[in-house]
Structure 1
């Protein structure tokens, strides 16, 4: 039997030269400018203009960030470069995210960020209150958001009670979180804080879509053996991951890295080069290092050693 596992993939993907890893960070591909860039600003309540103390301000998918002081002000520095997402979160308010360009010549950067209270349109959803039903929905959420492999089994959501589930008019399962989710991944040695923007498990029970922002820190462990295990697990988690696939696709190294793209539901491969658009879209004319891949139909991605 082939040593492949199969993953469904996308209809259209746009890849830039810098790819950030999502979910649980394994590696980082951030450029380092010659000097630090200072990011500062103030966070205000949009309704009354009052400063918001203790709001969480961070660059998504990094360790970089801080909290606002009693005047709602924040400041921090970083050597990360490129186009990133600056996120502000506060309990009871909508997460505010904006794209920022971190280039040394732009330092310092200053932002005034207005936060809007969360508002839920309960007329559009059927609220489920059964504890048994909640547990069932949480199991589905965990499977699609965290995973169910051996590494995922060593991952815990520390505040699951912050998650609410509803069924929308299309019978999709919708998850929202009243506060950032604290996720501890004991297999990889990371603690991740996740601002869940939206999560939808479609009624077919086979596909899901979600948007989130995250910051993380490495867990501490005095035993050297634990650190070595984390490093091995991080490498293992990266191999065959969606991030590994994207980088391999961008660098034209799919075969080299044991990936095979096939027509969905089969093991019949085709050349991914057939779908590379050599002329960028009009809105990408000024972008450098951009590749655009378009697929007419969904495909499967196989990963593994063909000789197994």
Structure 2
């Protein structure tokens, strides 16, 4: 059976914010979606800002309009069945309307040198279960997630390079009853590298609120706060504002020397490594070696993924601890105030952050009233 890794690549998730009425927004993206070869317009294509609740579909003529409530950096994602995913980075520094003309290429994906696994037999189902562990995670929130269209997932195994791959012919539809979201996820890549002992996956999620009465909504709001606090997004948002200590983070640096890891017991002032970013909205974290991040306001039990929320009381028991480091040749992580990271595939995360996967992931336009990012 396929097993998940000890290290996980950071998600390729990008951007922010929710849909407001067209007249209320000063930041607008509008465009048209068509077939690149024939020029025929494509109606009902999915159009959204990745990792947000902002989304729409193109109309009968392939036209669309997205209204964004404030400035920031975004990834515009357009997906139509049978076509390659369109992505375009967009930044708003001042009120404006950005127009895009989108020509989609037919997806003629060819996979060579790999073994295609039989679909819907016992082996396929075992690999499906392992995929769900690696993709959704093992936390209590992940246990309440369900992929509604599992039949669109296929698996390949590259025997020569010992690499396992999963891909989906359509966006995955995920229902997260713990956090109250229905997620449409465009899976761009899922790999388990057995020789290197890590896995990676990336893609583009779009969030929609589930309907519910007062009782489940209250539970969702509480769970969303638990999921957000201590997350990668919360960490980088806190670092941007130089609030790591206030928000309960302790950072230490470790070095690997001759096959052994040495952890500096002293707390590191990580903000000293933060520099101005490439845009007016971003900053850069420039560092070497390995960073250990302990979140002191939430405990974990001996059972992986179990969470005991003690967010108001720092304690000395089992705390969340994660680590991350830059990949070879990379020198910085660039990020914005809301926790959005420009180059998420340039670093690896491990330990607690590697355990928290789609089952705990929050949209970046989530606003927590107790967060320092107000």
| TM-score where L is the length of structure 1 | 0.79
What does 1:1-308 align with in structure 2 at a 5 Å threshold? 35-107=25-97, 109-129=98-118, 131-168=121-158, 169-204=160-195, 206-222=197-213, 224-262=214-252, 263=254, 268-273=264-269, 276-277=272-273, 284=277, 287=280, 289-296=282-289, 298-304=290-296, 305-308=314-317
CA distance in 1, matches of 2:65, 2:56: 7
2:31 match: secondary structure: strand
* CA pair 9-78 structure 1, distance change in 2 beyond 3 A: same
Matches of 1:277 and 1:22, distance apart in 2: 24
Q: Distance in 2 between matches of 1:165 and 1:9?
A: 19
Q: Identify unmatched segments of 5+ residues in structure 2.
A: 1-5, 256-260, 297-313, 318-374
Evaluate the alpha carbon distance shift between residue 288 and residue 56 of structure 1 in structure 2; reply closer, same or farther with a 3 A threshold: closer
Q: CA RMSD in A?
A: 3.2
Higher relative contact order (CA 8 A, sep 6+): 1
Q: Which of 92-101 and 55-64 deviates more?
A: 55-64
Larger mean Cα displacement after TM superposition, 250-259 or 112-121: 250-259
The answer to whether the Cα contact below 8 Å between 1:21 and 1:61 also exists between their aligned partners in 2 is: no
* 301 and 135 in structure 1: CA distance in 2 versus 1, 3 angstrom threshold: farther
Inter-partner Cα distance in structure 2 for 1:135 and 1:151: 22
CA distance in 2, matches of 1:160, 1:266: 43
Q: Secondary structure at the match of 1:231?
A: helix
* CA positional deviation for 1:231: 0.9
User: Which whole-Å CA distance do the structure 2 matches of 1:144 and 1:255 have between them?
Assistant: 31
Gaps of 5+ in 1: 1-6, 14-19
| TM-score, normalised with respect to structure 2 | 0.67
* Gap change, CA 1:112 and 1:289, over 3 Å in 2: closer
Measure, in 2, the Cα distance between the counterparts of 1:38 and 1:209. 33
Task: Between 166-175 and 49-58, report the one with greater CA deviation.
Answer: 166-175
**Alpha-carbon offset, residue 103 of structure 1:** 4.6
In 2, Cα distance between equivalents of 1:8 and 1:90: 32
Distance 1:151 1:122 in 2: 34
Query: Would you say the 8 A contact 1:54–1:70 is kept in 2?
Result: yes
Displacement of 1:185: 0.5
Encode CA deviations 1:4-58: one digit per residue, 9 max, x unaligned: xxx9688xx9xxxxxx9959x9xx678x998433322111111211111111111
Q: Secondary structure at the match of 2:88?
A: strand
Q: Deviations over 1:111-155 (max 9, x none)?
A: 110111112222232211162222222222222221111111001
Residues 22 and 155 from structure 1, CA distance in 2 versus in 1: closer, same or farther, beyond 3 angstroms?
A: farther
